[in-house]
Amino acid sequence: MSSQEIVFVVLGIVGLGAAVRLVTARNVVHAALYLVVSLAMVGGTYLVLAAEFVAFVQVLIYVGAIVVLLLFSLMLTRAPIGREALDNQQRGISALVALGILAGLAFLIQDAFRDARIEPDATPTGAVGVSIFQNFVLPFELVSVLLLAALIGAVVLARKDLP
């Protein structure tokens, strides 16, 4: 095991653990904090994989913006606390489904990529920018329209009044 792998495994275990706690926590605010941990660990793995720009974006957008948004809405909706308040009646079947998916994916991955190795090569941020503006301009423009639509639509729905 290389040092990179060791770091990755540590990040992965923490991230997964936090994820599991997120879906089992009995307090919504705790769950949100677990989400922060989990997402940060994912960001960390990007760093290990030498995708720095994606890692920064991950931390900025997810940890910085999305989680805050989620926390705000938790406050707004006065989230209750306790297992019965947070979980529904289908935990058993849900766990089965999740395990089934995990088993299936694990089998597929093992089958297809058993011997694949990543040799992380630092990606210069500039290259990402070039790629976006050279190869993916059109999706980029479309995403801007999407964000505008989401923004305006969300405001319209969330505001209290009617016209």
In the range 77-116, which residues lie near other proteins by CB under 8 A? 77, 79, 85-91, 93-95, 97-102, 104-106, 108-114, 116
Minimum CB separation from other proteins for residue 121, in Å?
7
Q: Does 117 bind other proteins (CB under 8 A)?
A: yes
Q: What span, in angstroms and rounded, lies between the C-alpha atoms of 134 and 40? A: 30
* 8-37 residues near other proteins, rule: CB under 8 A: 8-9, 12, 15-16, 19-20, 22-23, 28, 31-32, 35
Q: Does 134 bind other proteins (CB under 8 A)?
A: yes
What are phi and psi for residue 122, nearest 5 degrees? Answer: -55, 130
Burial 54-73 (b: 16+ CB within 10 A, else e): bbeebbeebbeeebeeebee
Minimum CB separation from other proteins for residue 83, in Å?
10
Minimum CB separation from other proteins for residue 146, in Å?
5
Minimum CB separation from other proteins for residue 150, in Å?
4
Q: Give the HSE-up count for residue 109: Cα atoms under 13 Å, Cβ half-sphere.
A: 7
Q: Does 68 bind other proteins (CB under 8 A)?
A: no
Q: How many CB atoms lie within 10 A of CB 150?
A: 10
Q: How many CB atoms lie within 10 A of CB 15?
A: 19
